[in-house]
Structure 1
Amino acid sequence: MKFTPRGFGGNRRSVDLVKRDGWREQRVLAVSLDDHRLTWPERELVRQLGEKLYGRPEAKDERA
């Protein structure tokens, strides 16, 4: 007996697979600045691109 509707079961793809497929299929790149595979210059480039396109990240409220 199934307890999930059709199409809502199975295995989830890993985050890296979703990112890879997004790049290959739609040319969308999702990159974390904390990715250990990036060198410092690569991280800096990603940070600068993010700030240019979307602005600086808001400062986190220390009191919250």
Structure 2
Amino acid sequence: MDIPTPRYRCPLARLQPEPMDVEAVKRQGWREQRLLVVGLDDERLHWTERELIRRIGERLYGPRDGAREARHG
């Protein structure tokens, strides 16, 4: 008679964090605290919006470390 081997359930499994909905956290931060978290590579933004955000970030926090200024024209 074949008796299936019971699987050992590790007691540490319950300590694993639940996956987070990052977009929901961003939305909640905006609605409750007026914090805006946006990546410059977010495809939902138009080029001019991304450029504006980049300029604001550089004005407030300085240019990225190791980033070269790319000028068009």
Q: Do both proteins adopt the same fold according to a TM-score greater than 0.5, normalized to the shorter chain?
A: yes
Unaligned runs of 5+ in 2: 1-10, 68-73
Q: Tell me the distance in 2 between the aligned counterparts of 1:46 and 1:55.
A: 13
Letter in 2 for 1:17: A
Higher Cα radius of gyration: 2
- 1:54 counterpart (58, 61, 64): 61
- 1:17 counterpart (19, 24, 29): 24
- What displacement does 1:13 show? 3.1
Q: Tell me the distance in 1 between the aligned counterparts of 2:32 and 2:19.
A: 18
After TM superposition, the score normalised by the length of structure 1 is 0.74
Is 1:41 matched up with 2:63?
Answer: no
Task: Give the number of equivalent residue pairs.
Answer: 57
After TM superposition, the score normalised by the length of structure 2 is 0.65
Q: CA RMSD in A?
A: 1.9
Which of structures 1 and 2 has the larger relative contact order (alpha carbons within 8 angstroms, sep 6+)? 1
- Give 4+ residue runs of structure 1 displaced > 4 Å after superposition: none
Letter in 2 for 1:25: E
